Structure 1
Amino acid sequence: MIQVIKDIIWGWQCKRAIKKANKLSELLGMKYYVIYMNGSLKVVPKRTIRELVAKHRFRKGVKVADIERRAIYVTH
């Protein structure tokens, strides 16, 4: 029963993050990712991901394409 409630909450959070990513993408014309980071879902623009990879904030060898592959949702 507890797992069902957790799944419902996770689904609601996912839907909410995807809506936010789509809305920001349409408004600003940028590509957005929904990624699971630090225990929660984050909506992050691709530009920020590129900057963080360039500043070596991720493990050595991680590329933007790797993060895009692991993203829960990617806007167009």
Structure 2
Amino acid sequence: MIQLIRRLIFAWKYKRAVRTATRLAELTGMRYLVIYLNGSLKVVPKQTIRELVRRHRFRKGVTVDDIERRALFITK
């Protein structure tokens, strides 16, 4: 029962994050990713991820492609 409630909450948060990402993508024209980071869903523009990888904010050897592959949703 607890697992069901957790799944429902995650599904609700995921839908909300996807909706936010698509709205922002339509508004700005940039590509947005929904990623699971630090225990929660984050909506992040791809440009920011490139910047963070360049500044070595992720583990050594991590590329933008690796993050894109692990993303839960990517806007067109």
Calculate the TM-score normalised by the size of structure 2: 0.99
* Number of residue equivalences: 76
Name 1:20's counterpart in structure 2.
20
Q: What SS does the corresponding residue of 1:12 show, helix, strand or coil?
A: helix
- Residue 18 of structure 1, CA deviation: 0.2
Name 2:72's counterpart in structure 1.
72
Structure 2 unaligned regions, length at least 5: none
Structure 1 unaligned regions, length at least 5: none
- Residue 25 of structure 1, CA deviation: 0.1
Could you say what the CA RMSD is over the residues aligned between the two structures, in angstroms?
0.4
Calculate the TM-score normalised by the size of structure 1: 0.99
Tell me the alpha carbon deviations over residues 13-69 of structure 1, each in whole angstroms, 9 at most, x when there is no partner: 000000000000000000000000011000000010000000000011110000000
Question: Where does structure 1 differ by over 6 angstroms across 4 or more consecutive aligned residues?
Answer: none
Identity of aligned residues (%): 64
